[in-house]
Amino acid sequence: MSAPGSDADSQAVAARLSAWLRAPASWAHQCEECGRGAAFGFEDMRKTMHWFCSAHRASGEALLRAG
Protein backbone atom coordinates (compact mmCIF):
# COMPACT_ATOMS: atom_id res chain seq x y z
CA MET A 1 0.00 0.00 0.00
CA SER A 2 1.42 3.35 -0.99
CA ALA A 3 1.74 6.28 1.36
CA PRO A 4 -1.59 8.02 1.81
CA GLY A 5 -1.76 11.56 0.52
CA SER A 6 1.23 11.27 -1.80
CA ASP A 7 1.19 13.63 -4.78
CA ALA A 8 1.08 10.77 -7.28
CA ASP A 9 -1.92 9.22 -5.59
CA SER A 10 -3.92 12.42 -5.30
CA GLN A 11 -3.16 13.32 -8.93
CA ALA A 12 -4.35 9.90 -10.07
CA VAL A 13 -7.54 10.27 -8.08
CA ALA A 14 -8.13 13.77 -9.45
CA ALA A 15 -7.57 12.56 -13.02
CA ARG A 16 -10.04 9.72 -12.61
CA LEU A 17 -12.58 12.02 -11.02
CA SER A 18 -12.36 14.66 -13.74
CA ALA A 19 -12.61 11.99 -16.44
CA TRP A 20 -15.70 10.60 -14.75
CA LEU A 21 -17.27 14.05 -14.52
CA ARG A 22 -16.61 14.78 -18.21
CA ALA A 23 -18.00 11.47 -19.46
CA PRO A 24 -21.66 11.94 -20.48
CA ALA A 25 -22.28 8.27 -19.69
CA SER A 26 -21.62 9.02 -16.03
CA TRP A 27 -24.73 11.15 -15.92
CA ALA A 28 -28.35 10.14 -16.23
CA HIS A 29 -29.04 13.31 -18.22
CA GLN A 30 -27.14 15.77 -20.40
CA CYS A 31 -27.51 19.53 -20.49
CA GLU A 32 -29.64 20.65 -23.46
CA GLU A 33 -27.32 23.63 -23.99
CA CYS A 34 -23.84 22.16 -23.80
CA GLY A 35 -24.28 18.39 -23.49
CA ARG A 36 -22.44 18.07 -20.22
CA GLY A 37 -23.79 16.29 -17.17
CA ALA A 38 -27.08 17.86 -16.15
CA ALA A 39 -27.94 18.02 -12.47
CA PHE A 40 -31.07 20.15 -12.81
CA GLY A 41 -34.34 18.93 -14.33
CA PHE A 42 -37.28 21.14 -15.24
CA GLU A 43 -40.78 20.04 -16.25
CA ASP A 44 -42.51 22.19 -18.84
CA MET A 45 -46.24 22.76 -19.48
CA ARG A 46 -46.48 19.46 -21.36
CA LYS A 47 -44.93 17.50 -18.49
CA THR A 48 -41.78 17.08 -20.58
CA MET A 49 -38.53 17.05 -18.65
CA HIS A 50 -35.68 19.33 -19.73
CA TRP A 51 -32.23 18.94 -18.23
CA PHE A 52 -29.50 21.51 -17.71
CA CYS A 53 -26.14 21.73 -16.01
CA SER A 54 -25.44 24.19 -13.22
CA ALA A 55 -24.11 26.72 -15.73
CA HIS A 56 -27.32 26.64 -17.78
CA ARG A 57 -29.98 26.02 -15.18
CA ALA A 58 -31.24 29.56 -15.83
CA SER A 59 -32.38 28.28 -19.23
CA GLY A 60 -34.53 25.71 -17.48
CA GLU A 61 -35.96 28.31 -15.15
CA ALA A 62 -36.77 30.46 -18.19
CA LEU A 63 -38.69 27.49 -19.66
CA LEU A 64 -40.88 27.39 -16.57
CA ARG A 65 -41.53 31.12 -16.71
CA ALA A 66 -42.36 30.96 -20.43
CA GLY A 67 -45.38 28.83 -19.67
Q: Which of 44, 46, 41 is nearest to 28 (CA)?
A: 41
Name the minimum Å distance from CB 32 to Zn ion.
7
Task: Tell me: does residue 42 bind Zn ion (CB under 5 A).
Answer: no
Task: Tell me: does residue 21 bind Zn ion (CB under 5 A).
Answer: no
Name the minimum Å distance from CB 64 to Zn ion.
17
- Give burial (CB, 10 Å; 0-12/13-18/19+) of 5: exposed
E strands, 1-67, in order? 40-43, 49-52
Among 27, 30, 33, 50, binds Zn ion (CB under 5 A): 33
Would you tell me which residues interact with Zn ion (CB under 5 A)?
A: 31, 33-34, 53, 55-56
